[in-house]
Amino acid sequence: MAFDYSIDFENTDFRKNPEHYRVGRGEQGVLLVEPYKSEILPHWRFKTPDIAKESSEKIYQMYLDYKEAEDFVGMDMARKFLQMGYTRSRRYANYKGGKKYDDNGDIQERQIDEEKAKSAAIFEEKWIKVREDEDYLEKKKKHQKEYG
């Protein structure tokens, strides 16, 4: 099911109202869902492999904390931030300045940045761990069945 953009994201507390949350595809809605965005975003960094390691470990710990609290929305938001850490690191690894397209709209030639590629691999490891977690998959299925 598509992400429900008819929700008033600015004024909705998804911890108190998980029924309004839709899992969505990939990173969809990652910067809209509060209070999770404000909790996780300050820890999301990928400039160097050391920074990416610290960031991914913190976000993964937040995932575990949400899991312990039986907070599926928090779990899924942590998953999205880990996924976004991977995808953004890959974008910067492949294209100088993270710009895939030039000013004419043409795809630029890739220039691999090995440091950013390492950052991406660090986030990817945690992202895979979350998305393959049996508890996560079970809670995701339950949430989708209950709320769409």
Helix (H, G, I), strand (E, B) or coil at 107: strand
Q: Tell me, yes or no, whether 103 lies in a domain.
A: no
User: Does pLDDT of 3 surpass 90?
Assistant: no
First-residue to last-residue Cα distance in the chain: 7
Beta-bridged to residue 101, according to DSSP, are 107
Q: What is the pLDDT of residue 7?
A: 79
Q: Which long-range contacts (CB under 8 A, 24 or more apart) does 89-95 make?
A: 89/46, 89/52, 89/116, 89/117, 89/119, 89/120, 89/122, 89/123, 90/116, 90/117, 90/120, 92/46, 92/116, 92/119, 93/117, 93/119, 93/120
Cα three-residue angle 73-79-82, rounded to 5 degrees: 145
- The answer to whether the beta carbons of residues 1 and 144 sit under 8 Å apart is yes
Q: Tell me, yes or no, whether 123 lies in a domain.
A: yes
**Tens digit of each residue's pLDDT (9 = 90 or more) over 61-71:** 999 999 999 99
Q: What is the pLDDT of residue 67?
A: 98
Other residues' Cβ atoms within 10 Å of the Cβ of residue 11? 7
Other residues' Cβ atoms within 10 Å of the Cβ of residue 89? 27
Q: What is the pLDDT of residue 1?
A: 40
- As a whole number, mean pLDDT of residues 86-115 equals 91
Q: Tell me, yes or no, whether 59 lies in a domain.
A: yes
Take residue 28 and report the two structure tokens written for it.
């969809």
Q: Tell me, yes or no, whether 5 lies in a domain.
A: no
Looking at every residue in the chain, the average pLDDT score rounds to 93
In the chain, how many domains are there? 1
- As a whole number, mean pLDDT of residues 103-111 equals 90
Q: Tell me, yes or no, whether 15 lies in a domain.
A: no
Q: What is the pLDDT of residue 2?
A: 53
Q: Tell me, yes or no, whether 47 lies in a domain.
A: yes
> How far apart are alpha carbons 46 and 81 in whole angstroms?
11
Enclosing domain of residue 78? 42-96+111-148
